[in-house]
Amino acid sequence: MQDQLTFRFPYSPTEHAQARSEAGLVRGPLGYAGLAALIFFPLVIWQKVKHPDVPLLALVVPALLMAVTFLVTPPLLRRRDTRRLRRENATEIGKVQTFTFSRDGFTPSDRWALPVPWSEVDKVIETKRFLLICATSDGPFFVPRHALSSNDAERLRAFLEREFQSRPGKYKSLPVR
């Protein structure tokens, strides 16, 4: 990487919601329902063991409810988050976002006067679809992988590995395909 590397991509609330979901930041009442189902299921099994005369249906119904909760909840939470992001960022939809990476830090927008220093970055996670940068209180910043050419992705990966070498576990990268 020379002095800096810049990526441009159009803002999409859908991609933003997917990135937040992959970073584990999408929560809500439905997410807690999944946890409740996870706790409830062992209690039902314990009751079946304690009282063998309880019909098998008492096991099947909670198991089905738990499976439906775990399968349906994540897409519902992402959809709700996407609607919220569309409302909050209505003027930004489709506008080109510019991310600049340099030795001083990263700049998540042309509107930022100074880069966010690497010392303030908590962690960087590379997923199949995004590069997530967890820094400051604004939530994770994201760069879609489709915005990176393979050459630029390798240069950025090498730079991030060097930058986070002194902080093991703060940079998580996918294996190179």
Whether 23 and 134 have beta carbons less than 8 Å apart is answered as yes
Domain boundaries, the chain: 4-12+93-172, 17-88
What is the per-residue pLDDT for 165?
85
* Phi/psi at 64 (5° precision): -65, -40
pTM of the model: 0.68
3-state class (DSSP) for residue 62: helix
Question: Rg of the chain's alpha carbons, rounded to an integer?
Answer: 21
Q: How far apart are CA 106 and CA 6, in angstroms?
A: 10
Q: How far is CA 65 from the centre of its chain?
A: 26
What is the per-residue pLDDT for 64?
75
CATH 2.30.29 corresponds to the domain 4-12+93-172:
yes
What is the per-residue pLDDT for 55?
77
| Mean pLDDT by groups of 10 residues along the chain of 177 residues | 79 86 62 66 76 74 74 81 86 86 85 83 86 77 88 87 84 66
Inter-CA distances, 120 with 24, 82, 103, 124, 136, Å = 20, 27, 13, 11, 7
* Phi/psi at 131 (5° precision): -110, 115
